Amino acid sequence: MRTGAIVCTTLFVGWVALALVQLWTSALDGALFVKISLTLGALFVICLAVTLVAREVKSDNKLQKDGFID
């Protein structure tokens, strides 16, 4: 869980930094900025989903090991 949170936070902070640079300097073409933003958003969602599923599987395995579920 911790690794996924770090990766998601890094992706988000990276996008915010990119957005601020784009806002103040127009360093990237508009279309390229949108493509990068969509890619970072997709990576963020995928990373978040994998992290949540992994946490759920780990929790279920622990409950099953402790005898709370079959």
Q: Convert the pLDDT of each residue in 18-64 to its tens digit.
A: 999 999 998 999 999 999 999 999 999 999 999 999 999 999 999 98
pLDDT band at 68 (very low <50, low <70, confident <90, very high): confident
SS3 11: helix
What is the pLDDT at residue 33? 96
Contact 47, 4 (CB under 8 A): yes
Does residue 27 sit in helix, strand or coil?
coil
How far apart, in whole angstroms, are the C-alpha atoms of residue 1 and residue 38? Answer: 24
Which tokens sit at 38?
A: 């969509």
Question: Does residue 1 surpass a pLDDT of 80?
Answer: no
At 10 the pLDDT is 97
pLDDT for the residue numbered 67:
84
